[in-house]
Structure 1
Amino acid sequence: MRHFFLLYVFFCSSNFTFSQNEQSPLIADDTIAQQKWVDSIYDSLSLREKIGQLYMIMVFSNQDEKTKLDNIKLIRDHKLGGVIYSLGGPVRQAKINNSLQAISKVPLLVGMDAEWGLGMRLDSTYSFPWNMTLGAIKDNALIERTGQQIGEHCKRMGIHFNFAPVTDINTNPKNPIIGNRSFGENRDIVTEKALAFMKGMQGAGVLANAKHFPGHGDTDQDSHKTLPTVGFSEKRIDSVELYPYKKLIREGLSSVMVAHLNVPSLESRLGYPSSLSKHIVTDILKERLGFNGLIFTDALNMRGVADMVQPSVDGNTSSTFLTSGTIDLEAFKAGNDVLLISEDVPAGISKIAEAYNTGEITEARLAHSVKKVLRAKYKVGLHDYQPVGLNNLVNDLNRIEDNLLYEELMENAITVVKNDNDLIPFQKLETKSFAYVELGDDSGTPFFEELKKYTKIHKIEADGFSDLTNKLQAYNTVIIGFHRSNDSPWKAYKFSEEEQRWISQISKTHNVVLDIFVKPYALMDLENIDDIESIVISYQNSIVAQEKSAQLLFGAIPSKGVLPVSIGSHFKVGDGIFNNSIERLSYGLPEHVGMDSKKLNKLDSVAKLAVKEKMTPGIQLLVARKGKVIYNKNFGKHTYEGKEKVHFDDIYDVASLTKILATLPLLMELEEEGIVSLDTKLPEILPEYNNSNKAQITLKSMLSHYAQLRPWEPFYYKTLDSVSKKPSETYYRSEKSKEFNIEVAKELYLRSDYEDSIQSIIKDSELLDRKRYRYSDFPYYILKKFIEYHYDRRLDELAQNHFYESMGANYTMYNPYHTISSKKIVPTEIDDYYRYQKIHGYVHDMGAAMQNGVGGHAGVFSNANDVAKIMQMYLQKGFYGGKRYFKPETINKFNTCYYCENDNRRGVGFDKPQLGDEGPTCGCVSMTSFGHSGFTGSYTWADPEEEIVYVFLANRTYPKAENNILLRENIRTKIQRLIYEAIDD
């Protein structure tokens, strides 16, 4: 009986019926305790203190001392109900919040306009994309996660109400205040996204606020400056503007913000703001829609309401201004619960108190709103208030899961709306010459730098259109990036007239991809888009948006987004072209592919130690997993004494990696074509071996280093003067001529016939005394001769034409000194035994140098990113960038250890994991993995089972090749072990 009595007392003391309480979004799970607390607090307050609970003032965390003292006085003297924060940093806000809470009789209800996040994270201006961007995403689970993670940020900052989501349906491209803040123009899509956002945020314990009721989307005026008019019929407003509110209210929406709008069909008094309209707030929102949550006014100091007219006695209008206190009273009488950012709080409290004392406002009406405020405070935990913890606050607002979500959101939002002739994703890169033209007033550098990871592309800068036209003549494909400020969603987004003309003219003569990093409405200014092959909308100019858009253009990630709004006659809401990935490497955070960022960062320490201890002047280090580059860093400098730091686009002499980056893939092609097989014997490809001691050697045994071939021959040594030990005049000249045309180093030319001598020395060399594993470069000298003879072309040309150009491996080449600046080439040694000069841009390996820099075993220069592309192609069983280079069975055939039973770990060309304790890997890789190492310090390894590609490039041979500490300390395999320890799935 006592239980039923308590329930009876609760219902009698409440201002709501049972059915209303059941539907109220402000009721906590412990209903009885909540009501007891609410009644106790309410009864302890004086009339003015009760009215004070209705007010929420604006606080800036970067405020000056006077403003700070004024706010303290307002809260202390008038027992205000809450604050709304804006601007400033998280630590300052938390400190201010704690101090204001400390002086409050009743804990403050804290709100913030965090529609797209707190705006306090260290790595971007705003935490998450704007609503327009989210509106392009089809997967609403991502929107719910966004709401949840924003809610978690708010909760960590002591924020109880987030004034989001915006539920305005943006059907007016000229809307100056909504625009990017709306999910779009389709009422169903807006509703779905707002609901998902609301559920996520309220699931995190932060109360949502749908705004701006009854609908601010279809206006072309700014309510901060005037009173916008929504001129639609009541039927239209009910079916469109109110549509999202109906569903969100049914699903437990906590609060609504009423806009300052002139809505003639809903409020007959001319120029009377919706926020002060009893018909709109009470009759429609509360009674017709059945909303029992908190109702906030929009900021009462906005001009749209402050400039309103006062109704006269006869019902007509006059131009008399309401006083600020009177505005507060009118807003409360209309049915609002919380008066947001009043111009004069004391005056407003006095006006409402006066109305209460005269009976104009009843006790029931006052208790109705004040108790709702108190219920909200209990629901968010203010009955057991705890200050905001300052420890790790910044780190807690900069979580890896937030960065992960941001990347995922942008990947899902970027929208392809036009793609004639399937220009994107770009394929057949060998047929395209790319130029990038940057338009707009903001930086497109992240976009351009990301594009450069995929192919050779030049940024074209010109003084005028004539100059631009001349410079573009050398290119057939132009990527135009339109970049405008990402600082806020209200920044300018349109093309200038000159930019429109440039786009039009370039499109007439080139294949053009126009990628805009602004809201879609920018395209409305383009009169004719017929000549533009492809149009991509990337929505925002954030770094992540630019990087992901570049990845999409090259097919590293699929295109998934759809238009949230229509763009004039060009495109309609919902338009979007979906392209699949063509399996090029993408770039992103380790956690996307089951790796731990913190553990992976341990690689930094090992690489830095290697540089510090002078094991190598510099390092390029890359890790990819599941087709995504997740770690790509540079350490040190080109030389110990120099100032040139290692950059992404610097290239290294990769030494013996040449074997699997150039010679082996060309041989694999020939094997697929039936020109050779693994059982082919040397005389079958080079008849001069017919009567040699190598006549029975097969390609399989030779490339498995199981053919009794000698490891190495110092071919250069016989060309040195016997006395001076310097290049002999018999073999060398300082100037190039027909007889001396092999360039072994700067101003040093070897006799033209000496390549034949090298081949003869190899053919006539003695075999080792028995068959066992012995690493040898000889097979690659032999294969180079065969491959070049078969194709009648040089090995470097073949590698470029067959692989590097189509893969976009534009940093991979032989003899780089011919084509790129020496500043981008890392030197390998100061040679004091053969060439007697700094080896810079010329191949380090002496035998390769004696072949004009083009060896089958050495000679390739590359950067880590390009090496990763080729290794990823192998890992993907011969497929990369939309092109099949090899059949899967070919990869398997060459990646097989045929002599493991003979204690030989090697595959055919590929190195493989050790069979015992000693070997080329950390011992933690799978036996299906493969790779190679190089004398200069290079190393690469791919593991099909863990889908990992690892690249380590160094110039440990500088200044002297005898420096072998990098190898003795097993730096490369220590890093490899750390990579595997970072696997977290």
Structure 2
Amino acid sequence: EGLTFTDALEMKGLSKYFSGGEASVEALIAGNDMLCLPENVEQSIDAIKKAIKKKRLSWDDIDKKVRRVLYAKYQLGLSQPQVIQTENLVQDINKQTDYFRARVAANVVTVMNNKAGLLPFVAGGKIAYVGVGTSALNTFGERVKNDFGADTYFLPYNDSAKAASILTSVQAGGYGKVIVGVHNFTTRPANNYGISPSVVGLINALQSNNALTFVFGNVYAAQNFCNASTLIAMYEDDAIFQNAAADFLQGKISAKGSLPVTVCNISYGTGIAVNRFAPVGTSPEWASVDSIVQDGVAKKAYPGAVVIAIQNGVIKYHKAFGRYEFDPASQPVNLESLYDLASVTKISATTVSVMKLVEEGKLDLNKSLGDYLPYTVGSDKAPLKIKDILLHQAGLNPFISFYRETIDSASGQPSPALYHEKMDADFNIPVAKNVWLRHDWNDTMLRRIVQSKLGVHGKYVYSDNDFILLGKIVEAISGQTLDQYAYNTFYRPIGMATTGFKPWQRFGMERVVPTEEEKYFRRQLLRGYVHDEGAAMFGGVSGHAGLFSNAYDLSMLYQMLLNGGTFNGERYLKEETIKQFTAYSSDISRRGLGFDKPEKDNASRKEPYPSALASSETFGHTGFTGTCVWVDPKTDLVYIFLSNRVYNTRANNLLGQMNIRGKVQDAIYKALEEEQKNKMAKTPETKSSASF
């Protein structure tokens, strides 16, 4: 699905066989939507018209292609006027080249061998860097030296005699690990890519020293190092790819590349996936957290889970448990696994977007729905204040089962008038795998919200519809879809690589943990598509649900909020905006603006929420699929719990009945306190001044 583009139709290899516009006709017949650089546009138009008369093509074919293109433009926000400034046009067009090359580099790191188990890389002890093919520090060498304190050695290709002395120095240096960068070899196989036998001999000899060998350039050259126990292919040898290699060593990115060709008897299309994280939290203080989460797995509250706890910006605990499904043969959960966040979307996409628009003066919390959504004007929804909607006390219906009216009453199946198995111009809203909703039905869903019965104003009633409409307000003001706005404003600049909507488009299915084996609407195991039916019918992007992420990337957003709006030296929100939204803001509930908070009488409650030890400054949210995020400014703590408790049925509520999320949260507070006590016991002279 999507758009299909031709290559340049003016190329002589094509135009000499298909002239007079015939190449354009053949390209359309073959299924292309966009014709790039036809040799002659007028002749192409004439040829297409003739093909329609001869019934080789039809106007319906052309119309569908046009609608598909227009829909893609709309999805990209091109329905809004965009004036192009022609000054510095070439520079403007190419200004993101390095950004996209960096994205490519981050996604093609390919681990060919990891026999020694050195990946993911854990720094420690003395480290040596051997730069082959260079006589001075390049970008990769500088990063290895600065990031890991490595001693550096260089072996130019024209100084083979130096190989023996380098080997002697490394072997005598007591290095725990040796990082080898192979650089500046030629792209052509003549003379073995310019790599001398002495270089091959040195690298092979270094393998006994826990060597990690990075090959920067033509991957065929890696055939010289097939015996390397840890071998990584990087494909290009410039600063962007060298930085990506260093980021991989630091754990900032994972290895998910695969070989485009067969090398060292390793088949093309394969590569060893290596997560960017090593588990954290192995000291005895954290054993209770392990026990609580493992108990949930054992009692089938969920097949698996990931927990992360960060204090003072330092990862204190980060572990994965269980499997993707209850089947013991299913995929084990890892620290890169992506989870459906469910209602954590409400704060992680919608609320932070609202916060940004408020502080920019584009959204006024005291204005009403009618001021931003014209289709509510004339209804009883138009006067509802934005602030009340954020607090869930505007009176909106809590939940509408949009899918029910799309089910055929006779067959019990989704109506064929509204759903198709394949996408086309009329059915282009992805609901699930091979389930496409008719393009105009989202308007019907919004109309159902506007027409729904209004409840009591000023009464706290948790509502998905509140955040569906808030998401639409973000789109109306920004001119972007909610997923685009959140990505452009927060996720991309912060570096949240996995956080986003519609992971089936971005990552495929393998990394995404499944949710429910749903039997009444989409009738399939949901994996990569949002679990919530309403969000699914909005195409996987909605203000109340639809976001996916791994735990670490999600934690970056909340570390930014905990930092008062900054992250890695960049400001994303004002500190006063964060304080305004995360404070108690209602006299009738525990809610902040968008954010959930602890019950106000937590100290005396029989069942405290979200946990007994969470301070009143805490803010966050839970998710129906078995997720939560809680930030406690008092203890400078970010806590995230991700699970798929709805597998393989939402009727499984052991997670809630066992209060696992709350117990884990309290166990984290206790582990941190125990760590601090142990630290103070080792340094008694600081006891009088140190405190948790």
Deviation at 1:758, TM superposition (A): 1.0
Match of 2:480 in 1: 793
Residues 807-818 of structure 1 mapped to structure 2, 5 A cutoff: 807-818=494-505
Deviation at 1:723, TM superposition (A): 2.8
Residues 619-768 of structure 1 mapped to structure 2, 5 A cutoff: 619-641=305-327, 642-768=329-455
Residues 52-63 of structure 1 mapped to structure 2, 5 A cutoff: none
Separation of aligned partners in 2, 1:952 and 1:495:
35
**For the Cα contact (< 8 Å) 1:430–1:805, is it kept in 2?**
no
From 496, 508, 511, give the equivalent of 1:821: 508
Match of 1:852 in 2: 539
Residue aligned with 1:869, SS: helix
From 600, 607, 624, give the equivalent of 1:915: 600
**Relative to 1, partners in 2 of residues 1:767 and 1:613: Cα closer, same or farther, differing over 3 Å?**
same
Deviation at 1:551, TM superposition (A): 7.1
**Relative to 1, partners in 2 of residues 1:637 and 1:442: Cα closer, same or farther, differing over 3 Å?**
closer
Deviation at 1:501, TM superposition (A): 3.3
Separation of aligned partners in 1, 2:659 and 2:177:
53
Gaps of 5+ in 1: 1-427, 452-463, 466-475, 506-515, 519-530, 538-545, 555-584, 591-595
Separation of aligned partners in 2, 1:756 and 1:743:
15
Match of 1:969 in 2: 658
Separation of aligned partners in 2, 1:495 and 1:951:
34
1:420-448 deviation line (CA, Å, top 9, x unaligned): xxxxxxxx978843458799999897676
**For the Cα contact (< 8 Å) 1:588–1:628, is it kept in 2?**
no
**For the Cα contact (< 8 Å) 2:280–2:319, is it kept in 1?**
no
**For the Cα contact (< 8 Å) 1:588–1:629, is it kept in 2?**
no
**Relative to 1, partners in 2 of residues 1:740 and 1:687: Cα closer, same or farther, differing over 3 Å?**
same
Residue aligned with 2:672, SS: coil
**For the Cα contact (< 8 Å) 1:430–1:806, is it kept in 2?**
no
Separation of aligned partners in 1, 2:522 and 2:367:
38
Q: More relative contact order in 1 or in 2 (CA 8 Å, sep 6+)?
A: 2
Match of 2:667 in 1: 978
2:317 aligned partner, one-letter code: Y
**Relative to 1, partners in 2 of residues 1:440 and 1:963: Cα closer, same or farther, differing over 3 Å?**
closer
1:537-565 deviation line (CA, Å, top 9, x unaligned): 9xxxxxxxx999727999xxxxxxxxxxx
1:644 aligned partner, one-letter code: Q
Separation of aligned partners in 1, 2:316 and 2:615:
20
**Relative to 1, partners in 2 of residues 1:834 and 1:503: Cα closer, same or farther, differing over 3 Å?**
same
Deviation at 1:610, TM superposition (A): 0.3
Separation of aligned partners in 1, 2:493 and 2:141:
18
Residue aligned with 1:789, SS: helix
Match of 1:383 in 2: none
Deviation at 1:770, TM superposition (A): 5.0
1:489 aligned partner, one-letter code: G
Deviation at 1:588, TM superposition (A): 9.6
Separation of aligned partners in 2, 1:747 and 1:648:
29
Match of 1:543 in 2: none
**Relative to 1, partners in 2 of residues 1:449 and 1:956: Cα closer, same or farther, differing over 3 Å?**
farther
Deviation at 1:706, TM superposition (A): 1.3
Residue aligned with 1:861, SS: strand
1:664-708 deviation line (CA, Å, top 9, x unaligned): 111111111101122121111113323221233222111111111
Deviation at 1:944, TM superposition (A): 0.4
**For the Cα contact (< 8 Å) 1:815–1:843, is it kept in 2?**
yes
Match of 2:637 in 1: 948
From 865, 868, 874, give the equivalent of 2:555: 868
Deviation at 1:788, TM superposition (A): 1.9
Deviation at 1:922, TM superposition (A): 0.7
**Relative to 1, partners in 2 of residues 1:770 and 1:803: Cα closer, same or farther, differing over 3 Å?**
closer
Separation of aligned partners in 2, 1:663 and 1:978:
30
1:819-862 deviation line (CA, Å, top 9, x unaligned): 22322111001011111111111110000000111111111111
Deviation at 1:963, TM superposition (A): 0.5
For this pair of structures, how many residues does the alignment match? 470
Separation of aligned partners in 1, 2:391 and 2:284:
39
From 898, 903, 906, give the equivalent of 2:591: 906
Separation of aligned partners in 2, 1:444 and 1:607:
30
Separation of aligned partners in 2, 1:713 and 1:765:
9
From 247, 250, 264, give the equivalent of 1:550: 250
**Relative to 1, partners in 2 of residues 1:789 and 1:444: Cα closer, same or farther, differing over 3 Å?**
farther
Separation of aligned partners in 2, 1:946 and 1:629:
14
Residues 392-407 of structure 1 mapped to structure 2, 5 A cutoff: none
Match of 1:784 in 2: 471
**For the Cα contact (< 8 Å) 2:372–2:476, is it kept in 1?**
no
Deviation at 1:487, TM superposition (A): 8.4
**For the Cα contact (< 8 Å) 1:620–1:648, is it kept in 2?**
yes
Separation of aligned partners in 1, 2:383 and 2:338:
39
Match of 2:37 in 1: none
**Relative to 1, partners in 2 of residues 1:837 and 1:493: Cα closer, same or farther, differing over 3 Å?**
closer
**For the Cα contact (< 8 Å) 2:429–2:538, is it kept in 1?**
yes
Separation of aligned partners in 2, 1:822 and 1:815:
11
Deviation at 1:449, TM superposition (A): 6.0
**Relative to 1, partners in 2 of residues 1:489 and 1:634: Cα closer, same or farther, differing over 3 Å?**
same
**Relative to 1, partners in 2 of residues 1:907 and 1:479: Cα closer, same or farther, differing over 3 Å?**
farther
Separation of aligned partners in 1, 2:251 and 2:541:
33
1:976 aligned partner, one-letter code: Q
Deviation at 1:776, TM superposition (A): 0.6
Separation of aligned partners in 2, 1:477 and 1:803:
28
Match of 1:163 in 2: none
**Relative to 1, partners in 2 of residues 1:932 and 1:489: Cα closer, same or farther, differing over 3 Å?**
same
Separation of aligned partners in 1, 2:178 and 2:370:
69
**For the Cα contact (< 8 Å) 1:432–1:477, is it kept in 2?**
no
Match of 1:99 in 2: none
- CA RMSD in angstroms, aligned pairs only: 4.1
Separation of aligned partners in 2, 1:898 and 1:618:
35
Gaps of 5+ in 2: 1-97, 124-131, 134-138, 154-166, 189-205, 210-236, 255-275, 677-692
Separation of aligned partners in 2, 1:890 and 1:968:
35
**For the Cα contact (< 8 Å) 1:429–1:807, is it kept in 2?**
no
Separation of aligned partners in 2, 1:957 and 1:860:
16
**Relative to 1, partners in 2 of residues 1:962 and 1:882: Cα closer, same or farther, differing over 3 Å?**
same
Residue aligned with 2:310, SS: strand
**Relative to 1, partners in 2 of residues 1:623 and 1:781: Cα closer, same or farther, differing over 3 Å?**
same
1:238-276 deviation line (CA, Å, top 9, x unaligned): xxxxxxxxxxxxxxxxxxxxxxxxxxxxxxxxxxxxxxx
From 184, 196, 201, give the equivalent of 1:501: 184
1:279-330 deviation line (CA, Å, top 9, x unaligned): xxxxxxxxxxxxxxxxxxxxxxxxxxxxxxxxxxxxxxxxxxxxxxxxxxxx
Match of 1:191 in 2: none
**Relative to 1, partners in 2 of residues 1:478 and 1:848: Cα closer, same or farther, differing over 3 Å?**
farther
Separation of aligned partners in 2, 1:810 and 1:969:
32
1:907 aligned partner, one-letter code: G
1:636-678 deviation line (CA, Å, top 9, x unaligned): 1000014210011110111111111111111111111101122
State the percentage of identical aligned residues: 34
**For the Cα contact (< 8 Å) 1:905–1:914, is it kept in 2?**
yes
2:347 aligned partner, one-letter code: I
Q: Which runs of 4 or more aligned residues in structure 1 lie more than 4 Å from their structure 2 counterparts after TM superposition?
A: 428-431, 435-451, 476-488, 490-496, 502-505, 531-537, 546-549, 551-554, 585-590
2:591 aligned partner, one-letter code: R
Separation of aligned partners in 2, 1:504 and 1:834:
54
Separation of aligned partners in 2, 1:449 and 1:804:
25
Residue aligned with 1:711, SS: coil
Deviation at 1:786, TM superposition (A): 2.1
**For the Cα contact (< 8 Å) 1:813–1:862, is it kept in 2?**
yes
Deviation at 1:805, TM superposition (A): 1.3
